[in-house]
Each structure stands twice: as C-alpha cells, then as structure tokens.
C-alpha cells in the first residue's frame, strides 16, 4: 500500500498563492510597463517574507517606548527629606542661612569663601571649585529643592535635596565620577590667596541609592601669610531624578564618618518621602 505524502504547510502554500496572485494582478493592470513589473516583484517578495515571518517568529511587542519619569518631589517633600542634627550626631548645630556661605564663610581667621575663589586649569575643575559650598554641585535643580547647613568648630556641612532633569542629573553624576582622573591635582589661581594646589581623590560611599559618588577635595595655600589646608568631603547620591548632596569639612580635616551618616540617613529620608511617607519628625532645632 502506498502511504500518502504529507501536505505542504498551509503557510507556504498561502504565501506562494498570494505571491503569484499579486504578480498576475499587477501585470494585468500595467501591461508591459517595466517599472510596474518591478514593483510587482517587490510586493510579492515582501508579502511572502511577511507571511513566512509570521509562521516562525513571535509578534513584536506593541508597547510604546517610555521616557524617564519626572520627579514627583514637592517642595514640602524636599524639606521633609533634609537631615537633622540627630542624623549626624556629635555636636553639630543647625544654622539659618547656609546659602550665604558661598559669599562669606569665616573659619577662625581664614575667609574660606575667598580661599576657594579662583580659576581652575580646565572647565571640569573650574566647575568643581565653583560648586564648593554652593547649591549647584549637580547643576541647577529643575524642580523642588531644599538646603540646610550645620557647624561644628571650624567645620561646616552643607546638605541639599533637589529634583533635576533626569538626563542632566545622569550627566552630572558621570562628571562627578570622572574628577579623580581629570582633576586629580591642579592649580587654583587668582583671587586674594595666590596660587593654591587642589587635589581630588575618590572616597568610599555607603551602598545606597541608584548611583553614588564620593570625593575628598583638599586645597592647600596661604591666607594672611599663614599656611592653610582646607579638606572637604563631597558626596552625591542619585535616586531616579532626585539627588542628595553633601559638602563636609573645614580647616581641621573632613570627618568621613559624619559624611557617611549624612548620606545614609539622608537617602533613607528621601526614599521615605518618595514612597509617600513622612520621615520621623525633626528633633528640636531649626525647622
């Protein structure tokens, strides 16, 4: 007995029939027009390939591409996310106007604002110098922003919570991470303090947030004829389109434990706010 051969797969039969039908229909409409014949050949090939692909590949996802979400951080949320003296312990005292430090910051007999005022070797290094004790370490916020500051002896701690354009924030974090290589040591000139040597090294950070970067910036020179060394921890943590920044230090060095505490407690407070919760009430002090 002869066993019947299996029939060809329906998809191939349909593709072939469709291709032939398309050729005949096109030829009938266009006669001997060579360009029409070429179009018919192209149409049949596309049709055949399309049907074959349907039988061998899963359908492509129809989900639209999504852009990076904007920040939902409100002004009240940014204020609630600020750290308090209890978060960094020791003998830190909260101050009222830390935004004025960029213009006037006297530590002992040294005018630190004037000491760090100068011209760096490159735009990247200049940007870093300009952002010390400023609110623009990661660029200008595009949304809510809140700032607080603390003092302890000849040390100062500036802390900021802010919302940014996500792409700009990504670029700023990348810039910050490049500084130990691009600005490892450079000369600061101009101002009233003559030449100062600036060193930038990378420091370890608590494993918090989406991205993080820590630096220690040391500025050495003279002020009033006396040698001066200013050491500052500079830290940033990114959470989506939001970030916290910390500048901490002074003439007695930078307390890395305090910087780590500010980063850890601050990240936790910001995450609480972004989750729609209110962090623990601010202890006694300045609200």
Assess if residue 116 is contained within a domain: yes
* Tokens (6 digits) for 208: 């918090």
For residue 162, give the nearest of 138, 146, 139 by alpha carbon.
146
Q: What is the CATH number of the domain that holds 267?
A: 3.40.1000.70
Q: Is the same domain home to 33 and 112? A: no
Task: Give me the tens of pLDDT residue by residue for the chain, a chain 287 residues long.
Answer: 444 444 444 444 333 333 434 433 344 334 444 444 444 444 444 444 443 444 444 343 333 333 456 688 999 999 999 999 999 988 999 999 999 998 889 898 899 999 999 999 899 999 999 999 999 999 999 999 999 999 999 999 999 999 999 999 999 999 999 999 999 999 999 877 789 999 999 999 999 999 999 999 999 999 888 999 999 999 999 999 999 999 999 999 999 999 999 999 999 999 999 999 999 765 544 44
Can you tell me the distance from the alpha carbon of 162 to that of 146, in angstroms, rounded to the nearest whole number?
Answer: 6
Do the domain assignments include residue 265? Answer: yes
Phi and psi based region of residue 211 (left: phi greater than 0; alpha: psi -120 to 50; beta: remaining): beta
Query: SS3 for 165?
Result: coil
Q: Are residues 18 and 115 in the same domain?
A: no
39-76: buried (b, 16+ CB within 10 Å) or exposed (e) per residue?
A: ebeebbeebbeebeeeeeeeeeeeeeeeeeeebebeee
- CA dist 239 and 234 (Å) reads 17
Q: Is residue 136 part of a domain?
A: yes
Parent domain of 152:
75-274
Q: Is residue 152 part of a domain?
A: yes
């Amino acid at each position: 007995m002869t066993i019947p051969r299996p029939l060809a797969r329906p998809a191939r039969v349909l593709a072939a029939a469709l291709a032939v039908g398309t050729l005949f229909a096109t030829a009938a409409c266009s006669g001997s027009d060579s360009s029409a014949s070429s179009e018919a050949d192209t149409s049949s090939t596309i049709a055949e390939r399309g049907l074959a692909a349907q039988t061998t590949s899963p359908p492509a996802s129809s989900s639209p591409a999504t852009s990076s979400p904007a920040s939902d951080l409100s002004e009240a949320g940014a204020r609630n996310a600020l750290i308090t003296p209890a978060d960094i312990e020791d003998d830190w005292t909260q101050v009222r106007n830390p935004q004025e430090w960029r213009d006037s910051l006297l530590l002992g007999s040294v005018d630190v604002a004037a000491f760090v005022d100068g011209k760096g070797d490159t735009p990247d290094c200049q940007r870093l110098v300009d952002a010390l004790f400023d609110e623009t370490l990661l660029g200008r916020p595009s949304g809510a922003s809140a700032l607080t500051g603390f003092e302890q002896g000849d040390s100062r701690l500036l802390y900021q919570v802010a919302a940014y354009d996500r792409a700009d924030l990504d670029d700023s974090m990348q810039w910050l991470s490049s500084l130990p290589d691009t600005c490892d040591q450079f000369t600061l000139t101009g101002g009233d303090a003559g030449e100062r040597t600036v060193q930038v090294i990378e420091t370890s950070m608590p494993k918090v947030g989406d991205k993080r970067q820590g630096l220690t910036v040391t500025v050495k020179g003279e002020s009033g004829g006396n040698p001066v060394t200013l050491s500052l921890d500079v830290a940033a943590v990114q959470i989506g389109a939001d970030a916290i920044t910390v500048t901490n230090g002074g003439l007695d060095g930078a307390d890395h434990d305090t910087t780590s505490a500010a980063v850890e407690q601050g990240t936790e407070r910001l995450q609480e706010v972004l989750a729609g919760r209110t962090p623990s009430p601010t202890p006694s002090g300045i609200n």
